Amino acid sequence: MSSFKAIVIRKGDSGQSVALTDFAEQDLMDGDVTFRVEWSTVNYKDGLAVTGKPPVVRRFPMIPGIDGAGTVTASSHPDWKPGDKVILNGWGCGETHLGMYGALARVKGDWLVPLPSDLSLRDAMAIGTAGYTAMLCVLALERHGLTPASGPIVVTGAAGGVGSVAIALLAKLGFTVIAATGRPQEADYFKGLGASEIIPRDELTGPVRPLGKERWAGGIDTAGSVPLANVLAMTRYGGAVSACGLAAGMDLPGSVAPFILRGVCLFGIDSVNCPRPRRREAWQRLARDLDRAKLSEITSEIDLAQIPNVAPQILGGNVRGRIVVKITE
């Protein structure tokens, strides 16, 4: 195709503009694999990019979209050939490299992972970076040695994409899950995913004490700041917390007490530049351990033209679960 439809962000004297428009294939950036993007998704970072919140987009014009799944059309990379089904998450796409909100993408082959045989391309984007990040969090807790017998796991930002998938994964693996949320009216939703207990976000946003009552064996945190500090303060001896987000802020106003008095471990989870072997492990585990029926229940679908309207909603905490974007047939 000489041109294709894409969401394009441009920057001019009057600020940033976002539009669904034609984009020339010749203007794609360098890469050794070109693929037809069939599905994408809307993550929190995508919401930041589309609404112009800095510092996500660092070149213009930019096609946003940090996630894509589709079919290889051309490749000079030894691992890929035309017809292969592939997944891309992160690597600066939608930030410094043209992203996935267009019908065609050209990227480095080392950025891609194969679609697991029992997942569809749509399933892969219903999971997306949010679900892949949730799996990385779970893997970190498992490597630490946590098992269902260790005790409950708390998940913050429970209604979001990472939180929703994390609850479903942990429940499927046999863990007791505590969902921390600012939307307690969604209790039925959380219980449907497998949460055993729902606690209001307010319990984690109050003053941070060096140590609190030991309430959980571990946690998956999407918030950062005060909520993460409180999660750590209430983690049991020898427990662990996976931190993967900053919805509440980039600071961590806690103390070293959980680390030096209870032996708690804090794992930082990066999904953008995560090495390929760990990515492949996460995707294979997602194909095996994520309840596909629950994934379907938390997923809604939009098309490219609807992305600019959805982006502010995800930043405002008004999106529950996952959104897939249909790019091409």
Per residue, what are the HEC states of the chain? CCEEEEEEEEEECCEEEEEEEEEEHHHCCCCCEEEEEEEEECCHHHHHHHHCCCCCCCCCCECCCCEEEEEEEEECCCCCCCCCEEEEECCCECCCECCCCECEEEECHHHEEECCCCCCHHHHHHHHHHHHHHHHHHHHHHHHCCCHHHCCEEECCCCCHHHHHHHHHHHHCCCCEEEEECCHHHHHHHHHHCCCEEEEHHHHCCCCCCCCCCCEEEEEECCCHHHHHHHHHCEEEEEEEEECCCCCCCCCCCCCHHHHHCCCEEEECCCCCCCHHHHHHHHHHHHHHCCHHHHHHCEEEEEHHHHHHHHHHHHCCCCCCEEEEECCC
Are residue 106 and residue 16 in the same domain, yes or no? yes
Instruction: Round the average pLDDT of the chain to a whole number and report it.
Output: 95
276 close to 250: Cβ distance less than 8 angstroms: no
Residues 190 and 305 grouped into a single domain:
no
pLDDT in tens, 257-303: 999 999 999 999 999 999 999 999 999 999 999 999 999 988 999 99
**Interval 212-255: pLDDT, tens:** 999 999 999 999 999 999 999 999 999 999 999 998 999 999 99
Q: How many domains does the chain have?
A: 2
Whether 48 and 178 share a structural domain: no
In a domain, residue 109? The reply is yes
Residue 321: band (very low, low, confident or very high) from pLDDT cuts 50, 70, 90:
confident
Identify whether 38 is part of a domain: yes
Average pLDDT in the 313-318 region? 87
316 has a pLDDT exceeding 90:
no
Does residue 292 form part of some domain? no
How confident is residue 112, by pLDDT bands cut at 50, 70 and 90? Answer: very high
| Distance of alpha carbon 218 from alpha carbon 256, whole angstroms | 17
Same domain, 139 and 69: no
37 part of a folded domain = yes
Residues 148 and 185 placed together within one structural domain of the fold = yes
Least confident of 138-152, 183-197, 308-322: 308-322
| Average pLDDT of the segment spanning 16-27 | 94
Amino acid at 315: L
* Residue 287, in any domain of the structure: no
pLDDT band of 197, cuts 50, 70, 90: very high
Q: Say if residue 35's pLDDT is above 80.
A: yes
Better-predicted residue by pLDDT, 79 or 328: 79
Give the structural domain span for 39.
3-115+298-326
Could you tell me if 253 and 321 lie in one domain?
Answer: no
For 41-69, write each residue's pLDDT tens digit: 998 899 999 998 878 899 999 999 999 99
32 near 108, Cβ under 8 Å? Answer: yes
User: Looking at residue 38, which CATH number applies to its domain?
Assistant: 3.90.180.10
Same domain, 91 and 157: no
Tell me: pLDDT of 1 over 70.
no
108 and 133 share a domain? no
* Domain CATH for 238: 3.40.50.720
Residue 101 covered by a domain = yes
Residue 152 and residue 107 in one domain: no
For residues 24-46, average pLDDT: 95
- 57 in Cβ contact with 95 (< 8 Å): yes
pTM of the predicted model as reported, rounded to 2 decimal places: 0.92
162, 247: one domain:
yes
Calculate the CA 124 to chain-centre distance: 12
Average pLDDT over residues 19-39: 96
Q: Are residues 144 and 101 in the same domain?
A: no
Instruction: Please check whether residue 54 lies inside any domain of the structure.
Output: yes
284 lies in some domain: no
Q: At residue 274, what is the residue type?
A: C
Considering the chain, what percentage of its residues have pLDDT values greater than 90? 90
Q: 């439809």: which residue's tokens?
A: 5
Q: So what's the pLDDT on residue 329?
A: 63
- Beta-bridged to residue 70, according to DSSP, are 37, 86
